[in-house]
């Protein structure tokens, strides 16, 4: 409590750890409040093939462990606690965890977002084993196979069309009888010969044997169940930004993402943002890392004016 840190980074995904590496190399001695489950969503990701520098791909957990080691090499300190509240109303800013209260001159928020799930036990069982939320990341694994996409918005249309570059067949499953996606995205989907829409249907169960082999579907109009053989399932039903603790402290949009005029600055001086918590569009490892770099540089510039 007596120590006022130069910068505290909340979150330990690729955005937060990239920020930590940059700030540590600038000798700002950043404190990273990494959470009880550090590494973010990549800790449940298998092979990442689109992160530069790894022609053979790299396992998500390995990449995160490498980033942690690199940050610590330059004297970033990680504490494995969850933040329960923040106070940005006065300086130095206060950040509370269940066991500690930290003071800091600046903050980088990189808490990420979580994909909405179906809340099925089988969904958790096959997560990363045929259940995914990122076509750009995983579509190439389904070359010549059959895949289902769940959702009815622009994201679902984008996922389905992306996957058709690899899969031989894509079922687009939607719980209603019409999409909420933009007309241009719907037109693109309806004219894609590899995509078949299944209306008024939800997934009751994910079936598999080590990996996904099929889905149990329920039609909410006919009240009937059916089985659908697929090799994988992609969820595209939205993301939930992890911003509950910031809602009374910083400006958020109507969904809960942190508002930022330039992808870095927030409504509070000295509080910066990086990664998916301010990015509902791209949600890639490389874009998160890039935002972490920018946030770290802006924090360094901000701190230089305080000295």
- Residues annotated as catalytic (active site), given as ranges: 134, 137-138
Q: What's the token pair of residue 19?
A: 């920020």
3-state secondary structure 248-282: CCCCECCCCCECCCCCCECCCCCEEECCHHHCCCC
Cα gap 22→143, rounded to integer Å? 38
Question: Which residue shows structure tokens 């489950």?
Answer: 37
Q: What are phi and psi of 118, to 5 degrees?
A: -85, -10
Neighbours of 209 (CB within 10 A): 7
Q: How far is CA 258 from CA 149, 243, 261, 268, in A?
A: 28, 8, 10, 11
Give the single-character DSSP code of 174. Answer: -
Cα gap 233→150, rounded to integer Å? 7
Q: Where are the alpha helices (DSSP H) in the chain?
A: 14-25, 60-73, 121-125, 135-138, 154-163, 183-190, 285-306
Cα gap 23→307, rounded to integer Å? 16
Q: Are 139 and 47 in contact (CB under 8 A)?
A: no
């Amino acid at each position: 409590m007596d120590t006022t840190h130069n910068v505290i980074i909340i979150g330990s995904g690729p955005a937060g750890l990239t920020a930590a590496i940059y700030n540590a190399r600038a000798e700002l001695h950043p404190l990273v409040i990494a959470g009880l489950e550090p590494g973010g969503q990549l800790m449940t990701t298998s092979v990442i093939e689109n992160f530069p520098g790894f022609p053979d791909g790299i396992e998500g957990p390995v990449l995160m462990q490498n980033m942690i080691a690199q940050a610590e090499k330059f004297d970033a300190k990680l504490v494995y606690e969850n933040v329960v509240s923040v106070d940005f109303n006065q300086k130095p800013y206060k950040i509370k965890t269940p066991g500690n209260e930290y003071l800091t001159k600046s903050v980088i928020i990189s808490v990420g977002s979580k994909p909405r799930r179906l809340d099925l036990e089988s969904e958790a069982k096959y997560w990363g084993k045929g259940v995914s939320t990122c076509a750009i990341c995983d579509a190439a694994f389904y070359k010549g196979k059959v895949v289902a996409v769940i959702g009815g918005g622009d994201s679902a249309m984008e996922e389905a069309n992306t996957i058709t570059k690899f899969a031989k067949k894509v079922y687009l499953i939607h719980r209603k009888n019409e999409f909420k996606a933009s007309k241009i995205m719907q037109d693109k989907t309806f004219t894609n010969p590899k995509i078949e829409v299944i209306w008024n249907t939800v997934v009751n169960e994910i079936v598999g044997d080590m990996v996904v082999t099929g889905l149990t579907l329920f039609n909410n109009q006919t009240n009937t169940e059916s089985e659908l053989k697929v090799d994988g399932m992609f969820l595209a039903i939205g993301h939930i930004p992890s911003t509950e603790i910031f809602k009374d402290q910083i400006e958020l949009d109507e969904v809960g993402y942190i508002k930022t005029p330039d992808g870095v600055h927030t409504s509070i001086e000295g509080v910066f943002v990086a990664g998916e918590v301010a990015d509902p569009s791209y949600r890639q490892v490389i874009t998160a890392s890039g935002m972490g770099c920018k946030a770290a540089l802006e924090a360094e510039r901000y701190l230089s004016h305080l000295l």
